[in-house]
């Protein structure tokens, strides 16, 4: 059985950045089968909530599935593909909220430490 549990889930608030969408939800999966399972679970849950997907792409390769709900766009990435496209950097002006797991722990994502500037006299 394929686990449907996404990891490294991030909510990006784009309302002050672009009119493309209000929010991006970005998550990672460990395999193409898990990408499919997560995308299917999102579609099933939103359809049950009477919010069917408006447009989707990426189901053939299963490296990056996009589920477009107009105001909210869900990005389900294979973890290596997510590293390559790095939406967090691309949309770095957006307010970002890491979604906590059921165990209450926030995912650990470290940013590179800022380089200290030396002051010359």
- The total of structural domains in the chain comes to 1
Task: Give me the DSSP letters along 3-50.
Answer: ----EEEEEEE-TTT-SS-SEEEEEEESSHHHHHHHHHHHHHHHHHTT
Query: Which residues fall within 8 angstroms of residue 27, CB to CB, at 6 or more apart?
Result: 6, 7, 8, 9, 10, 38, 74, 75, 76, 77
Whether the pLDDT of residue 114 is over 90: the answer is no
Establish if 71 belongs to a structural domain.
yes
Establish if 85 belongs to a structural domain.
yes
Establish if 40 belongs to a structural domain.
yes
Classify strands 72-78 and 95-98 as parallel, antiparallel or unpaired. unpaired
**Predicted model pTM:** 0.80
pLDDT of the residue at 4: 74
Question: What token pair was written down for 11?
Answer: 């909510």
Establish if 107 belongs to a structural domain.
no
Residues listed for the chain: 121
Establish if 113 belongs to a structural domain.
no
Q: Quick check: 63 and 77 in contact, CB under 8 A? A: yes
What's the domain range around 43?
Answer: 7-14+23-98
For the domain that residue 87 is a member of, what is the CATH number? 3.30.460.10
pLDDT tens, position by position, 18-74: 999 999 999 999 999 999 999 999 999 999 899 999 999 999 999 999 999 999 999
Establish if 87 belongs to a structural domain.
yes
């Amino acid at each position: 059985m394929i686990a449907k549990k996404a990891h490294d889930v991030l909510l990006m608030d784009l309302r002050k950045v672009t009119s493309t969408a209000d929010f991006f939800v970005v998550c990672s999966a460990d395999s193409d089968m898990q990408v499919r399972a997560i995308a299917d679970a999102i579609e099933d849950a939103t359809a049950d909530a009477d919010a069917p997907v408006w447009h989707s792409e990426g189901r053939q390769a299963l490296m990056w599935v996009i589920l477009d709900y107009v105001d909210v766009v869900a990005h389900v990435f294979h973890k290596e593909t997510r590293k390559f496209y790095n939406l967090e950097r691309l949309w770095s002006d957006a307010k970002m909220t890491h979604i906590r797991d059921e165990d209450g722990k926030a995912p650990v994502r470290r940013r590179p430490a800022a380089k200290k500037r030396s002051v010359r006299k």
